[in-house]
Structure 1
Amino acid sequence: MAVETLAARLGRDLDAEGFPVVPLGGVTSIGRFLEVLGPRGLGLDVAGLCDAAEEHWFRRGLERAGLGDAPGRADMERRGFHVCVADLEDELIRAAGAETVRQVIVDEGEWRAFRTFRNQPAQRERTVEQQLHRFMGTHSGRKSQYARALVRRLEPARVPRPLARLLADATA
């Protein structure tokens, strides 16, 4: 959702440009996708975005698909695969800042739900950034909802590096 929203903000239609966004349905699917779409399959140029905790899955998938032997992060980036510091939600929260994220929650009509959430005993000792991050994952569809809303609010210079680099890789 974040990639497509950012592309639209920049006046781009990735499908029309021949760079469709394909959700994996889970990180363990990366190897299968790369086998089908990459050099041993359809021979398409592929790129991707992953969380830091998923990096080893992407490295193994790239290696198995014939895209390099256990590539390091720099090699992954040269191949178009970018790693978020923790995950995309973390990147977006840091880029937008806690106050902007709070305002987005208000704009999305969920301030009351967030206020209730952050008052739960398990949340009280967490930083506001940790609370915001966890809140985004507590409801089905919320990660996509906030990815779209936060990308719409970001100043172009504040777009997280992995997201900006991925979109830059998707050029003709």
Structure 2
Amino acid sequence: MATPRAVVLVEGNSDRTALLTLAARTGRDLAADGVEVVAMGGITNTRAFAARYGPRGLDLPLAGLYDAPEEAHLRRGLAAAGLPDALEPGALPALGFFACTADLEDELIRALGAAAVEDVIAAAGETRSLRLLAGMPAQRTWTREAVLRRFLGVRSGRKARYAALLVAALDPAQVPAPLTAVLARV
């Protein structure tokens, strides 16, 4: 892609995959729109990526998706990269950054419901793996939702794979607000 007109910063590849899948489902080609979704490899890399693309770098409009427990890292990184307003209470949505309550997987599990997520896992042929995890002593007392979050994050590449599958399973009315908001921003 040539220099994009806007950049969406996300923590990891699963967030990137979810946004690209959702955009495609709504008939939108982000690359054709000049929007680049960049997986930063973790929230602690915000400063470097925001400095590259933001006001001290290419000076492109930024937006992003982040996990609410990581908000302090995001705020500091954006401020250090030339967006000092990020430190102000309530400023992140105005800057185009939207929080997932716990993380992307939590948002998708709550949107679909545990039973529908289990159906997606079954369709992907991983019911046995889910049952094995759920039957382990440490997880036996966990909620279904907690077991599902653990399942999605326990194997390399699984978060991104299921980000696409779970977004594809969403009814348009079920799309989590942070995903809708960040795509509306760009």
Q: Distance in 2 between matches of 1:6 and 1:68?
A: 31
Q: 1: CA distance between counterparts of 2:88 and 2:162?
A: 32
Higher share of residues assigned strand: 2
Equivalent AA in structure 2 for residue 56 of structure 1: A
| Equivalent in the alignment of 1:132 | 148
Pairing partner for 1:117 from 133, 138, 149 = 133
Q: Which runs of 5+ in 2 are unaligned?
A: 1-16
TM-score (ref. length: structure 2): 0.89
TM-score (norm 1): 0.96
Alignment-derived partner of residue 81 in structure 1: 97
Amino acid at match of 1:16: A
- C-alpha RMSD of the superposition: 0.9
Counterparts of 1:71 and 1:15, CA distance in 2: 32
Of all paired residues, the percent bearing the same amino acid is 52
Paired amino acid for 1:110:
E
Q: How many residues align?
A: 169
Give the aligned residue type for 2:46.
Answer: I
Q: Is contact 1:52–1:84 with CA below 8 Å preserved after alignment?
A: yes
Distance in 2, Cα, partners of 1:85 & 1:35: 26
Structure 2 residue 68 is the aligned partner of structure 1 residue 52: yes
CA contact (8 A) 1:27 1:54 kept: yes
Moved more, 13-22 or 58-67: 58-67
Which residue in the other structure is 1:61 paired with?
77
Select the residue among 141, 149, 161 that pairs with 2:157: 141
- The alignment status of 1:23 with 2:39, answered yes or no, reads yes
| Structure 1 unmatched runs, 5+ | none
User: 1:158: which partner in 2?
Assistant: 174
Instruction: Give the distance between the partners of 1:14 and 1:54, measured in 2 at CA.
Output: 26
Q: What is the rounded CA distance, in whole Å, between the counterparts of 1:63 and 1:87 in structure 2?
A: 22
